[in-house]
Amino acid sequence: MRPYLQHPLTRLWLVLLLATVLSWWLGSDKPVASHQAGVLTAVSILVVAIIKCRLVIRNYMEVRFAPSWLQWTCDAWLLLNFAMVSSFYWFAI
């Protein structure tokens, strides 16, 4: 088991774990200085989530070794979600 626990996949898990702690901290109830500051915090949480998704897709799902059409499709989906969600936060209210 030990070689597996020292595998780069395990180190990536640690990075994902720390990123989750960061987004949890960003999302915890804190006084917000202004509406814009609140939107900025929300978009920061979104960015962390998108980065985590991309790390899982490229490394755990091994898309980084896949044909380029699949890499582009996955990145396009991530970009679509980022653009859609952040637009709602920036422009809807």
User: In the complex, which residues of this chain contact another protein (CB under 8 A)?
Assistant: 1, 4, 7-13, 15-17, 20, 23-24, 26-28, 32, 38, 41-42, 45-46, 48-50, 52-53, 55-67, 70, 73, 77, 80-81, 84-85, 88-89, 92-93
CB of 6 to another protein, least distance (A): 11
CB of 59 to another protein, least distance (A): 5
Q: Residue 33 or 88: which CB sits closer to another protein?
A: 88
CB of 33 to another protein, least distance (A): 13
- HEC string for the chain: CHHHHCCHHHHHHHHHHHHHHHHHHHHCCCCCCCHHHHHHHHHHHHHHHHHHHHHHHHHHCCHHHCCHHHHHHHHHHHHHHHHHHHHHHHHCC
